Copies of this chain bind each other. A is one copy, B any other.
Amino acid sequence: MSKESKPSIVLNCPLPTLDFDVITMGHGSGGLLTHQLLESGVFKVLKNEHLDQQHDGAILDLPGRIAFTTDSYVVSPIFFPGGNIGDLAVNGSVNDLAMCGAIPRFLSLSFILEEGLKMTDFWEILLSIKIASENAGVTIVTGDTKVVEKGKGDGIFINTSGIGVIHSRANIQASRIQTGDQIIMSGPMAAHGVAILSKRKGIEFETTIQSDTFAVNHLVKLLLDQFGDAVHFLRDPTRGGMATVLNEIAAQCQLGIAVEQKSIPIDEQVEGACELLGLDPMYVANEGIFMAVVRGDVADEVVAMLRHAGSMHAAVVGTVTDAHPGKVVLTTRIGGRRVVNYLTGEQLPRIC
């Protein structure tokens, strides 16, 4: 259940022989070249009964209560330590559904390709999408491919939208957060942002840090199976990092949040890199962890369960309080206290 070391995704699944090796404008025309691209690539790799229909949409049978989410991914570079834009796009939308208390079921997949994108890169991304969706247990049921001229895009942008079925025991609402609730982080923070930054032009540095990109839905299902409506709120700290999520929570429930810096899990190497780069890791993006606001009396059990399920660094990091409504206050390692604000302006652009 924990994030495994990733297999090489080129696998035993080489790129089929095609009479083109880069994407051209014709691949977005809706004509013969589009059909070739889809049939030799997308439909073959992602084969399932829904996609096989090749209609404009998929017909799905679902019970009554669903979650619906969307995200466009513009991460740069498209390949980064620990993943690429393909698995990121799957995991990201899967996680958004999980944060609604849903069991992710179906994804849509829409590409905006830049003319000149190498077919070998597109293929590797497609395979990552396949593997990530299998790992998360979701089916890609409908899609779209557009092509823009060279210089009007950036290799590849991906939109995934997702549908999930609300877990029967879930009742995730900011309004249910109350004084005494505990805030749990499922794993160490800031790995994704630092991994991306380590490959950015002009900043590259040597490191073994990998993105934490990972689908948390199986963990969230365990959490809801076991703790049901004692889980008051869920959110994944992506863009803007955990500081942003904590501020959003405080603003929505109009209660205060007290956070202990020393209890926030962070990898030593990630922390070192943040110091070196002058980044506050609380604002750095994550793509494979979540924050849960749970009833105070079950917090320790939740942490034990998460650790048992493979999230070895899960920890209680804060408490909901009525002391400073709407504000997030951090107690630093040396015992000082300061308000943690929303991120102003841009820290790391195109992180997801």
Give the interface of A toward B (CB within 8 A): 24-26, 28-35, 54-74, 76, 95-97, 99-100, 102, 106, 108-112, 141-144, 146-149, 151-154, 157, 159, 161-164, 166, 174, 235-236, 238-240, 244, 248, 252, 283, 285, 342-350
B62 A62 Cβ-Cβ under 8 A: yes
B57 A102 Cβ-Cβ under 8 A: yes
For residue A141, which residues in chain B have a CB less than 8 angstroms away from its CB? 68
CB distance from A349 to the nearest CB of B (A): 5
CB distance from A281 to the nearest CB of B (A): 15
B72 A29 Cβ-Cβ under 8 A: no
How many chain copies? Answer: 2
Given A26-B346, A159-B72, is A31 in contact with B166 using a C-beta cutoff of 8 Å? no
Complex CA distance for A288 and B137, rounded to whole angstroms:
37
Residue from B96, B110, B161, B347 in contact with A29 in the complex, judged by beta carbons closer than 8 Å: B347
B343 A31 Cβ-Cβ under 8 A: yes
Chain A interface, DSSP helix/strand/loop, else mixed: mixed
CB distance from A10 to the nearest CB of B (A): 27
For residue A61, which residues in chain B have a CB less than 8 angstroms away from its CB? 64-66
Which interface residue of A28, A30, A99, A144 has the most chain B CB atoms within 10 A? A30
B100 A239 Cβ-Cβ under 8 A: no
Given A62-B62, A70-B109, A72-B159, is A100 in contact with B56 using a C-beta cutoff of 8 Å? yes
B30 A149 Cβ-Cβ under 8 A: no
Given A70-B144, A108-B161, is A239 in contact with B154 using a C-beta cutoff of 8 Å? no
CB distance from A337 to the nearest CB of B (A): 22
B70 A345 Cβ-Cβ under 8 A: no
B143 A70 Cβ-Cβ under 8 A: yes
For residue A33, which residues in chain B have a CB less than 8 angstroms away from its CB? 344-346
Complex CA distance for A274 and B152, rounded to whole angstroms:
27
Complex CA distance for A57 and B174, rounded to whole angstroms:
13
CB distance from A244 to the nearest CB of B (A): 6
CB distance from A87 to the nearest CB of B (A): 18
A111 B56 Cβ-Cβ under 8 A: no
Complex CA distance for A100 and B112, rounded to whole angstroms:
24
Complex CA distance for A321 and B275, rounded to whole angstroms:
72
A26 B345 Cβ-Cβ under 8 A: yes
Complex CA distance for A34 and B285, rounded to whole angstroms:
15
Complex CA distance for A350 and B248, rounded to whole angstroms:
38
B30 A240 Cβ-Cβ under 8 A: yes
* Sample (30) of A-B pairs whose CB atoms are under 8 Å apart: A24-B346, A26-B345, A28-B346, A31-B239, A32-B343, A34-B239, A35-B342, A56-B100, A56-B236, A57-B67, A57-B68, A57-B99, A57-B164, A58-B67, A60-B65, A60-B68, A68-B141, A70-B108, A70-B109, A70-B142, A70-B161, A71-B110, A72-B110, A73-B146, A76-B152, A112-B157, A146-B350, A153-B153, A153-B154, A159-B159
